[in-house]
Amino acid sequence: MRKHLVHCLLVLIVTLPTVAQTAAPAKAATDLDPLALQVLKAVVDPIRNAKSFSFRILAARDWLGTNDQIITKFSASEFTVERPDKLHIKFRSQGEPVELFFDGTGQTELYSPSVKLYSTISTPKSIDGMLDEAAKKGIFIAVRNFLESDPYKSLTDGLMTAYVVGRTTIFDQEVHHLAFTEPGAEWQLWVVGGDKPSIRRLEVINKDKPHNPRIVVDFLDWDLNASPTDDMFVFHKPEDAHEIEMLKLTAEGKK
């Protein structure tokens, strides 16, 4: 059961790369369409400026099967953020549900309530620092760019190309379609315009792995004026919960 939970935790921290995390050589200015960057900034700045916000995602992620065939798995997550030092994630996929608690006290807990197992890692006291430290431990959250203090900088560092594909519709909703490339990855955004711009869909293609696996994330229920309680970000350990050493078990599983 503990190894199964470790697998659940690894699913939460999908191994596909978060976008725009690698510095790239300088490219000609014509590779970056100013309009694409303008639209991107307009849609992520409200996230940066929000003191507290929440959203849900539905994700489809490619895995490589034992016969070298791409297998698609699905998951759903709920995110609640209070800047600069609080984050809560609820994750559900094919395995046990997992929650992440970060309250700025210097540690992050991952907990599966159905089996009452948890793991604790030491992290810095800001969301940015926590995400960086977690990444060093092999923990990568697919939408981490939108959780950071400056999403626009996080998304544009290392960009090689950016352009506007045009307007289209997703399930009868009109959106603006943007496309980007960076070393090792291609990614696209579909964003809602108007007075309340928001991100509707993200797709990342990993060019560094065989078969170019991808993850597609649909964003739902954006609330940039969320009012979470402090208690939401604190892990209250049940008396019958048991701690596991996630990273140690992960290493053993790779032998």
| Long-range contacts of residues 120-124, Cβ cutoff 8 Å, at least 24 apart | 120/243, 121/246, 121/247
CATH number of the structural domain spanning residue 67: 2.50.20.10
pTM: 0.85
Position 94 scores a pLDDT of 83
Position 26 scores a pLDDT of 43
Q: What is the mean pLDDT of each run of 10 residues along the chain (255 residues)?
A: 45 44 43 96 97 97 90 95 97 90 95 94 95 83 94 96 97 96 96 95 93 95 97 96 68 37
Position 136 scores a pLDDT of 84
State how many domains the chain has: 1
| Strand 117-122 to 242-243 pairing | parallel
DSSP secondary structure of 102-155: E-SSSEEEEEETTTTEEEEEE--SSHHHHHHHHHHTT---TTGGGTSS-HHHHH
Q: Residue 131 belongs to what domain range?
A: 2-253
Q: 192 by DSSP, 3-state: which?
A: strand
Position 252 scores a pLDDT of 37
Position 19 scores a pLDDT of 58
Position 134 scores a pLDDT of 84
Position 28 scores a pLDDT of 44
